[in-house]
Structure 1
Amino acid sequence: MPRLRVLEHWAEAERNQLPLWLPVMLGVGIAAWFMLPDPRAWIAVVLALAGMGLGAATLADGGRVPRMLGMAALLVSAGVLLAWARAESVGAPVLGRPTIATLVADVEGVDRLAARRVVRLMLHPLAARDGRGRALTLPPRIRVSLAEEDAIEGLGAGARVCLRARLMPPAGPVAPGGHDFARAAWFQGIGATGRGFAPVTLLRPAPKAMGLRQRLSARITARIAGSEGGIAAALATGDVGAIDDSDAEAMRRAGLAHLLSVSGLHITAVVGIVMVLTVRLLALWPWLALRVRLPLLGAAAGAVAAIGYTWLTGAEVPTIRSCVAAMLVLAALALGREAMTLRLVAAGALIVLLFRPEALMGASFQLSFAAITAIVALHDHPAMRRWFGPHPDWRWSALRHLAALLVTGLMVELALMPIAIFHFHKAGLYGAMANIVAIPWTTFVAMPLEMIALLLEPLGVAGPFWWLLGRSLGLLLALAHQVAAMPGAVVALPVAPGWAFAAAVGGGLWVALWRTRWRWLGLPMLALGFIAMLLAPTPDLIVTGDGRHVAMVSGKGVALLRDRAGDYMRSALSEMGGADGEPQALADRPGARCGPDMCVTRVERDGKVWRIAATRSGYAVPWRDLIALCQRMDIVIADRRLPPDCRPRWLKLDAPALRRTGGVTIRLGPPQVDMVHRPGDRHPWIEAAATATPPAQS
């Protein structure tokens, strides 16, 4: 058949690119497990794809295309099983309902967020009692936050403490499209989170007051004050707790937040600096230089530095991924092969997905691999080598290097934009320009200064280098604030549909991973997904799962039901409403009538006036008045159970209804409700929350 022959010719031409799709197909299966609702769907997909794969392999008859399709089906099937197995293997009990407990616990880890004046403890409870002295059974791993002034001396990993805390089950998304902490907590084995209260009694001090990572962070922040010291600590240990919130927000708005998360840039800088220093120093010994391949010794030293840096910074997923990639690059250099290829990127992705498949759903994994894939794919293109390659004239060569940096920055910004829109509901406009300055400055100025300062610190002569490092990071912060303050630096967008994000990612991968002209067939899919994300409809109302917080969205921004909503809730609701400014109070909106306990407002959409009422305090409203109000309203929202006779014209969202739906977003023109909890969803963290019993008492 002519069409089949065309496909076979295409497959033959792309045969060297086929291994790049191994992690992609495995990732499709992992994503499918997270998207599909229950075990019946997972089993059906696994069996169907396995049957298709085996059938295609059996009937291939030597054809490359059937073998490709069969292998793809088997990999997707394996991805579903891999994610399922991982979720079941990490399962742990989850707290059934909020409770206040006095507990004795061993400290597994301490994370100090100096800028927020908070200390987070990861605890393993040994015994717990409620306010009446009855014994409680708590999950084996909980996370508790303490005010900085309540964190006593000797508190660290290995300590045993007694404290009182208010504990809650891990929270799901605030509303559809929000961050699902319950899912992340499930894979970390965290069964409850909460807030601890003073006094905290130390029953057994930690073997060491602070680990190496904490001691190093404390030493750096003692040498450099303010957010500059926090950034220096983040570069060395991955600890971002000492960076002021306003400075961290400026870095995010300027597109420089990736510099605060230890990943490929930092690993590359450390490995490069160590390799160069090792080779230069060993070259001073002529006998060794004549008999040993110094680049091999430099690569070995770089590998040790990469592993040590990864361990020091907490071995998070981006750092592990970067360390794996660095090991592969160093191995390629040792073998005399090309240092950085898409195959190495694919190998790194495959290793991470095999051991931590849940990482695929996080922004960190997606941003890291999207950036490196875009960079390598771009520089593999013949046009880049032709237009921006070396030139005999040093002036033209310098201009070409500068232009290559600009093009690379723009390409990375475009590659990361769909991910930023989907996860953070924001898109930066000037990040590429800022990164052209910030990345070389961090790599060739700040990080070498910090390494020299750390090496000289034991000798007591590092003072000038700490000063220079502080000034260099101050300039980096000044750049971030300057870019963040520019008009239109950030465009806020509402929650994008999942299918649009999948289309944008699929189209981008199709363009990046193939080499023949067929690659350009991915552009329409990429454009469709990207445009759909940009044009995603804005919700009119956002209601959190507890019914306490309601956000009304309009062209003037976001208005909140409760004036005293916390910073996290204000930020989350503003982002999901596609607003970049500070939310205002609903009571200040024209047409809204708000008292201490209720708020009633009117919204006009498509020529229809909608009347909406919501409770805004914990005090009871007289039932007769409430029932009469319900009859006049189209939507009624409450954080408690409403009487059965409360029957609004369209939608009633009280505590029982919101327990079933979770947070919701509502569009009024035409009427549509999206829910956090999908009917029949049986993912382990959903079932654990639904079936968890209250803390056992005796």
Structure 2
Amino acid sequence: MAFTMQINAQHGRLFLWVPVCLSIGIGIYFSIRFEPAAGLIQIIGGACVILGLVAVLRWRSGNAVILRVVFLIILGFLLAVFRTHSVAEPVLGWRYYGPIEGTVMGIDRSNSNKPRVILKNVDLGKISKPRTPTYIRVSFHSNVGLQHLIPGAHIRTIGSVSPPSGPVEPGGFDFQMYAWFKRLGAVGYSRKPVELVKPPDLNTYSLKLFDLRMRISDHIRSRIKGQTGTFAAAILTGDRSTIDPDILQDLRDSNLAHLLAISGLHMGLLVGFCFALVRYGFALIPYVALKWPTKKIGAVVAVFAGFAYLQISGAAVATERAFIMVTVMLVGVIMDKPVITLRAVALAATILLVLHPESLSQPGFQMSFAATTALVASFEFLKHQTYWQRLQFGRNRFVQPIIALVISSFIAGAATAPFAAYHFNQIAQYGLLANLSSVPVMGMLVMPAAVLAGVLSVIGLDAIPFWIMGVGIDWILGSAHWVAGLNGSVMAVPQGQVGVLPLIGFGAVFFILWKGYLRWVGVGICCFAFTLWTQTERPVVLISDTGRLLGILHNGERALNRSKGSGFAASVWLENDGDRKGQEIAAFRSDGFSDVMKINLYNKEIGYVWPKSTPITDIENICSQVDILIAPNLKDKLSAGCFQITKPYLRYQGAVALTLSGQSIHIKTARQVTGERLWNTWWLRKRADKS
């Protein structure tokens, strides 16, 4: 009876739970360790249809809510299944070295700050067309011929590409899954010159748009010099190909990296300025102001401005998400409905989850909707408070915007902090200070000047707006550098358990959406999740998927066996440990490590043999003396009784983690966490192609 009363109390708020239920279904699909067979999917689909019909027929019954919840969860699961199969493209089956040809479809920079391109219409020498990936990504370590990296150009080089790799440690970021939904079938590098095979042929809409983006970027950088112009190009066209890594680090350490990513803030500021410009511009004409629906006209113009910005900025998922959110709100203006409500946020989240279910696991989606939901809920609460209402009148009305800025910056920072800590292993402790000094400049100076520059560039009068924009960006970059340089500006955070973040997200959403005393259950869920986080223990031993890199945790610090090579895995391991030191320092801790060694670890002997030339008899001898043998270049199984981590083992299982469990050592592999899925198992892709 009490539960029924609680359900009835949610009347009018049930729609807010639609994206939550879809997310549960999507999360279930991506967390299971097997790929559902076609027969199972058909059974689930049939059950979904039946549940949907029953929920409609029994709309007003007491069990209808439960039926709808189950229906939406199953629907989310099926949406994820459909999306996963719909983006299927060939994935390279092995490492390839040789000639590489393709059409340039995208340009950015790698983590090592090297030019990087996305290629389509790929030709990989003797590899047959059916086995050739549709898209590959190649980084260039030679400066010869880089002038040919232009939109639509068909280029040739010699390089090495491989299938996308799995997580660098069990439970870590799954690049194979990320690449699958990006339709990347191979990634690699080239140290050879780039040759132009065919000049640019802009024969598709996407290529023409890509070329326009690059031209706009070049124009911006010609008007605003240096890294200031690079930042301006990045926030307007999404082109980060020339941005300085030190500036990126300053923005991350000061919690201002969101200003560089074209997301809700940029879209909201640009669309809001266009809306205000049209509406108040028409207000200057008395006849138009009295006879025309200027508010609705402004909303329509703002939607088109937002769509243009979406196209020019590259239509990334984060920008698409922002466009959907502002469009939903502007449609509310056109239809004379409340604009900024939780229903609008829920509708935007639902649309995005239907279009891109995989975005649920992405930091941008999580942080964007965490901030937006927390802000809308907080200001919905404040608008009903007497003290807040008093600030809207008299002299206090000038104080309210300042207080609102402080509150919104604090709430957005607090809402996104757990997600930033989990995904990026750090918390910017002075992020509130940096945002208070920079976000107003972004809203009142940079984005309005960008809109004016875009309008006036048609007649060649964009110099002054671009100068104003540059002044604002200089202030932002200066603030980021100053805050990042403060003592203790960044706090390193060790990685939490896999289930911690979903628990925090669900607990927070439950607290915000539920009406009644049961909402406090959400706070309990969050507290439980944070407790689990603090009790997370890092693996004692980490082994990369190639076996070349080994990391031993001792006295809270991880020692690495190599100072160079496998740099990405090394950096991720250290970040997940909450260690901001570099690979060279971590390697300095490994006194006594070698390519052939034995390590005593909590009364367990671990052997490591790297050289290919090591005689098999020596390896057999080491195996007989240890409990676990790591021999990454050994292809055959030994007769000795130790547990053997060999080349075939690593090829299938991926990265390995050894953790303590009482007096014993527990072995966990990346494959055990991810399971056999379409994006990491070739025979499942082959079976899916046949079906």
* 1:147-166 equivalence runs, <5 A: 147=141, 149-153=143-147, 155-166=149-160
CA distance in 1, matches of 2:641, 2:342: 58
1:105 pairs with one of 102, 105, 130: 102
Is 1:331 the counterpart of 2:331? The answer is yes
SS in 2 for 1:594: coil
Code of the residue aligned with 1:479 in structure 2: it is S
1:639 pairs with one of 611, 632, 639: 632
2:645 pairs with one of 629, 647, 653: 653
**Structure 2 gap ranges (5+):** 203-207
Residue in 1 that maps onto 2:668: 674
SS in 2 for 1:677: helix
Using the TM superposition, give the Cα deviation of residue 300 of structure 1 relative to its aligned residue in structure 2, in angstroms: 1.6
Identify which range, 477-486 or 306-315, moves more after superposition: 477-486
Using the TM superposition, give the Cα deviation of residue 512 of structure 1 relative to its aligned residue in structure 2, in angstroms: 1.4
CA displacement, residues 427-480 of structure 1 (integer Å, 9 cap, x when unaligned)? 333323322322222111222233334444455554444344333222212222
2:682 pairs with one of 674, 683, 688: 688
Aligned length: 677
Residue in 2 that maps onto 1:237: 237
CA distance in 2, matches of 1:680, 1:302: 43
Using the TM superposition, give the Cα deviation of residue 290 of structure 1 relative to its aligned residue in structure 2, in angstroms: 3.3
Residue in 1 that maps onto 2:205: none
Residue in 2 that maps onto 1:380: 380
CA distance in 1, matches of 2:489, 2:522: 29
Residue in 2 that maps onto 1:425: 425
Change (3 A) 1:10 1:680: closer
CA distance in 2, matches of 1:220, 1:113: 22
Residue in 2 that maps onto 1:416: 416
Using the TM superposition, give the Cα deviation of residue 508 of structure 1 relative to its aligned residue in structure 2, in angstroms: 0.8
The answer as to whether partners of 2:90 and 2:131 remain within 8 angstroms in 1 is no
CA distance in 2, matches of 1:299, 1:148: 49
Identify which range, 657-666 or 549-558, moves more after superposition: 549-558
CA displacement, residues 175-211 of structure 1 (integer Å, 9 cap, x when unaligned)? 1232212112112222111213433332221136971
SS in 1 for 2:672: coil
The answer as to whether partners of 1:121 and 1:145 remain within 8 angstroms in 2 is no
The answer as to whether partners of 2:653 and 2:671 remain within 8 angstroms in 1 is yes
Change (3 A) 1:390 1:225: farther
CA displacement, residues 39-96 of structure 1 (integer Å, 9 cap, x when unaligned)? 45865993797499479859969444x2111101011111111111111122122111
Residue in 2 that maps onto 1:404: 404
Change (3 A) 1:275 1:59: closer
Code of the residue aligned with 1:191 in structure 2: it is G
SS in 2 for 1:326: helix
CA displacement, residues 249-286 of structure 1 (integer Å, 9 cap, x when unaligned)? 22112221111111111111111111222233333444
CA distance in 1, matches of 2:196, 2:275: 45
Is 1:29 the counterpart of 2:21? The answer is no
CA distance in 1, matches of 2:108, 2:587: 39
The answer as to whether partners of 1:264 and 1:319 remain within 8 angstroms in 2 is yes
Residue in 2 that maps onto 1:663: 655
Change (3 A) 1:502 1:535: same
Using the TM superposition, give the Cα deviation of residue 35 of structure 1 relative to its aligned residue in structure 2, in angstroms: 1.0
Residue in 2 that maps onto 1:696: none
Change (3 A) 1:136 1:288: closer
**Structure 1 gap ranges (5+):** 694-698
* 1:296-445 equivalence runs, <5 A: 296-382=296-382, 385-391=385-391, 396-445=396-445
Residue in 2 that maps onto 1:46: 44
TM-score by length of 2: 0.89
CA displacement, residues 523-542 of structure 1 (integer Å, 9 cap, x when unaligned)? 10011112212332122222
CA distance in 2, matches of 1:345, 1:389: 24
CA displacement, residues 498-520 of structure 1 (integer Å, 9 cap, x when unaligned)? 22222111111101112333212
Change (3 A) 1:421 1:688: farther
Is 1:118 the counterpart of 2:112? The answer is no
Change (3 A) 1:447 1:615: farther
CA distance in 2, matches of 1:218, 1:599: 54
The answer as to whether partners of 1:421 and 1:496 remain within 8 angstroms in 2 is no
1:202 pairs with one of 180, 196, 201: 196
Code of the residue aligned with 1:236 in structure 2: it is L
Using the TM superposition, give the Cα deviation of residue 392 of structure 1 relative to its aligned residue in structure 2, in angstroms: 6.2
SS in 2 for 1:503: helix
The answer as to whether partners of 1:106 and 1:126 remain within 8 angstroms in 2 is no
CA distance in 2, matches of 1:360, 1:201: 40
Code of the residue aligned with 1:240 in structure 2: it is R
Residue in 2 that maps onto 1:537: 537
SS in 1 for 2:143: helix
CA displacement, residues 301-322 of structure 1 (integer Å, 9 cap, x when unaligned)? 1111000001111111121121
Residue in 2 that maps onto 1:180: 174
2:4 pairs with one of 8, 23, 33: 8
Code of the residue aligned with 1:473 in structure 2: it is I
TM-score by length of 1: 0.88
CA distance in 2, matches of 1:221, 1:531: 48
CA distance in 1, matches of 2:417, 2:50: 35
SS in 1 for 2:252: helix
CA displacement, residues 674-693 of structure 1 (integer Å, 9 cap, x when unaligned)? 22112893321122278779
Is 1:87 the counterpart of 2:84? The answer is yes
Paired-residue identity, %: 28
